[in-house]
Amino acid sequence: MPYANRPVDKDCVFCRIVAGAIPCARVYEDENILAFLDIQPIAPGHTLAILKGHYPTLLEVPPREAEGLFIALKKVAAAQLKVLGAGGFHCLQNNFPLAGQTVFHAHWHLIPRAAGDGLALWPGQAYESDKRMREVAEALHSHITAGRCGGQDE
């Protein structure tokens, strides 16, 4: 069942795609989700999955919509593995400009991977000490368990 009164931003490119005002190469669609090929793909089959409602970042996405999104992501990723012969895939989601978000309608990238495709990920760095790692974990855990992580409420 579609969500009634879903938010729309008339200036948002993804809302315009959902409305049919801008064409896209659809990969998957149901009442609440749309997945389509990225027009600047990292690899052939690079797909964007969006909720049809306008939510700028993950923090605004209503929990009731997450299950349908997760199901759609699994379907598209499974198709990438089978149809494209991908050996794996990335499921990435950027939030806010500092993290590389350029379209402020929450969206997920499903990027199929192949051996030798040249795509490199970010370099990992160890914590300077186990003590520092525990401090960071405890600070995050305390904030979450204190109920201060409701998303858009903050």
Please list the residues that pair with 108 across neighbouring strands: 49
**Joined tokens for residue 65:** 């919509």
46 is catalytic: no
In the chain the first and final C-alpha atoms are separated, in Å, by: 30
User: How distant, in Å, are the alpha carbons of 14, 51, 61, 76, 96 from that of 106?
Assistant: 9, 8, 8, 17, 10
At residue 154, the pLDDT reads 40
How do the domains of the chain map onto residue ranges?
13-124
Q: Please report, in tens digits, the pLDDT of each residue of the chain (154 residues total).
A: 566 678 999 999 999 999 999 999 999 999 999 999 999 999 999 999 999 999 999 999 999 999 999 999 999 999 999 999 999 999 999 999 999 999 999 999 999 999 999 988 878 899 999 999 999 999 999 999 998 776 544 4
The active-site residue, picked from 107, 109, 141, 143, is 107
Please list the residues that pair with 47 across neighbouring strands: 37, 110
At residue 153, the pLDDT reads 42
Q: Which of 46, 54, 37 is nearest to 105 (CA)?
A: 54
Using CA atoms, how far apart are residues 23 and 79, in angstroms rounded to an integer? Answer: 22
The conformation of residue 104, written as its DSSP 8-state character, comes to S
At residue 151, the pLDDT reads 53
At residue 138, the pLDDT reads 96
| Homologous superfamily of domain range 13-124 | HIT-like (3.30.428.10)
